Structures are given as structure tokens and as C-alpha cells.
Amino acid sequence: MLMSKYVDMKSMWKQKQFVPDANATLRFTYGFIKGYSPNDGEWNKPFTTLKGVVEKEDGVEYELMKEIKDLYA
């Protein structure tokens, strides 16, 4: 309960939304890594290539560093 009050006060002090840290807790995630099919006849692999990363860039929400674009070129 005290932590939630601390996070609220920190948010008010910084005057913006932020993601609080994980306060040094150990996180463990497990599961299967597999592709998926969002549409009929479409299959997305569970891995991304540099080509896919470059194609995703729109310059607004997703922008790559110049060095990455240079390496791709």
C-alpha cells in the first residue's frame, strides 16, 4: 500500500505518467515461441529480420537510428 502512494506522489512530482521500476524483483517468463496466423493464408514467423524492422519504420511512432538504416542500406 505504501508503494502505491509513493508511485502516485512521484507521478505528481514529475508531472507526467511513467512506468515504475520493478523494485529489484526477479521476473521469470516461460512459454512456447511460435508464429501466428492473423489472417487466412498469412503466417508470421516468431523472429524478426533487419529487413522487417526497416519495413516497420514509419517515422512517427517507430523510428530507427540512422546507424541501423545505414547498415541495412
* pLDDT tens per residue across span 10-38: 778 877 776 666 666 667 788 888 999 99
The number of distinct structural domains making up the chain is: 1
Is the model more confident about 29 or about 54? Answer: 54
What pLDDT score does 73 carry?
A: 92
Do 35 and 45 touch, CB atoms closer than 8 A?
yes
Q: How far apart are CA 4 and CA 12, in angstroms?
A: 12
What pLDDT score does 72 carry?
A: 93
pTM (two decimals): 0.42
The domain of 57 spans: 2-72
Is the model more confident about 18 or about 55? Answer: 55
With H, G, I as helix, E, B as strand and everything else as coil, classify residue 10.
helix
**Nearest residue to 62 via CA among 72, 71, 52:** 52
Q: How far apart are CA 18 and CA 10, in angstroms?
A: 9
